[in-house]
Amino acid sequence: MFAPWYTPRPSDRLVARLLTERADDGVRACIITGAPGVGKTSFARALAEGMGGRLVEYYAHHWTSDEDMFLAVDPARVAAIAGGHDMPLSKTYRRGALLRATLLSRRMPVVLLLDEWDKASEHCDALLLEFLQSGTVHGRHGEWWRADTRQLAVVITSNGLRELIEPLQRRCFRYEMPYLSPEIEADVLRKATGAPTGAIRLVVKAMNLIRANGRSSPSLQEAMMLLRGMLLAHNTEDVRLLVRGYLLKDVQDENALKSLGDLPVLLWGEWRRGSK
């Protein structure tokens, strides 16, 4: 169901089944919320790979429009035709994310990832809702394309910048993605970095203290970069710089670690002990 590099939670497996095994009318879709770095984007990528299909990815912005979703004029190709290049007029259009996913779904399984959709406007929510209900993309001149909804799953991620419109939320399964358990996070870090066990446990404990009592929410990717950076450290001050660069965002994050003591000193000690 997922690519082998991805470590799913039990809840991830249920969401994946809802996206791939339901036989409802319309397009199967879910809205995934959760702290930055929890793995929302990785979920979609791993699902597409595990299905043996393709990922169509669109990163939303505040300027996202219907052209980005459906069909847009490509200025470069229009300029080429104006300059005498022999090209059919149909080639002057560029396929948007929904149309690309629709056409691909006729040939293979597809996961359409609409990443950080909360950056787009409410107008885009309404456009997306219409597509999810019908699985159809309409062109500018009355033409239309229908997706094979049996082979298409849509994953929408949100970081909570705005509330998605209620009809869209009702149409999708809503999933608040939790962090992996500390044991699984430690196992992932061990496989990814080969770092000493004591150092990994300390980093995982520090991340969860910051998540619980600090301002930010350190991701597994940041922990990986910290542990890989330890290979280049020569002393405690180097480790202090790495911790500040990868784990700590402000004073509140630093205060969240007070119960640990001096994290850089402890981490350097665990690293040297485990590397002997």
Q: Does residue 5 sit within a domain?
A: no
135 and 79 share one domain:
yes
Q: Last residue of some domain: 158, 176, 194?
A: 176
3-class secondary-structure state, position 102: helix
pLDDT at residue 82, rounded to an integer: 42
110 and 215 share one domain:
no
Nearest-CA neighbor of 20 among 155, 127, 168? Answer: 155
DSSP string, 103-166: HHHTTS-EEEEEETGGGS-HHHHHHHHHHHHH-EEE-TTS-EEE--GGGEEEEEEE-SSSPPPH
DSSP string, 68-97: HHSEEE-HHHHHHHHTT----GGGGEEE-H
Residue 270 has pLDDT above 90, yes or no: yes
100 and 201 share one domain:
no
pLDDT at residue 69, rounded to an integer: 77
Q: Last residue of some domain: 144, 176, 208?
A: 176
User: Taking the model in full, what pTM does it have?
Assistant: 0.81
pLDDT at residue 144, rounded to an integer: 86
Domain of 137: which CATH number?
Answer: 3.40.50.300
59 and 158 share one domain:
yes
Residue 209 has pLDDT above 60, yes or no: yes
245 and 196 share one domain:
yes
75 and 166 share one domain:
yes
Do 230 and 199 meet the contact criterion of CB atoms below 8 Å apart?
Answer: yes
171 and 51 share one domain:
yes
pLDDT at residue 143, rounded to an integer: 79
pLDDT at residue 260, rounded to an integer: 93
pLDDT band with cut points at 50, 70 and 90 for residue 23: low
How many beta carbons lie within 10 A of that of residue 180, not counting itself? 19
How many beta carbons lie within 10 A of that of residue 18, not counting itself? 16
52 and 167 share one domain:
yes
192 and 100 share one domain:
no
Residue 121 has pLDDT above 50, yes or no: yes
Amino acid symbol at 113: L
pLDDT at residue 101, rounded to an integer: 94
Say how many domains are in the chain: 2
Do 211 and 179 meet the contact criterion of CB atoms below 8 Å apart?
Answer: yes
User: Residues 218-263: pLDDT tens digits?
Assistant: 999 999 999 999 999 999 999 999 999 999 999 999 999 999 999 9
pLDDT at residue 80, rounded to an integer: 41
Determine the Cα–Cα distance for residues 65 and 44; give it in Å rounded to an integer. 23
Range of the domain at 111: 10-176
Do 151 and 9 meet the contact criterion of CB atoms below 8 Å apart?
Answer: no
3-class secondary-structure state, position 57: strand
User: Residues 41-95: pLDDT tens digits?
Assistant: 999 999 999 999 999 999 998 887 767 676 554 434 434 434 445 544 444 456 7
Residue 24 has pLDDT above 70, yes or no: no
156 and 203 share one domain:
no
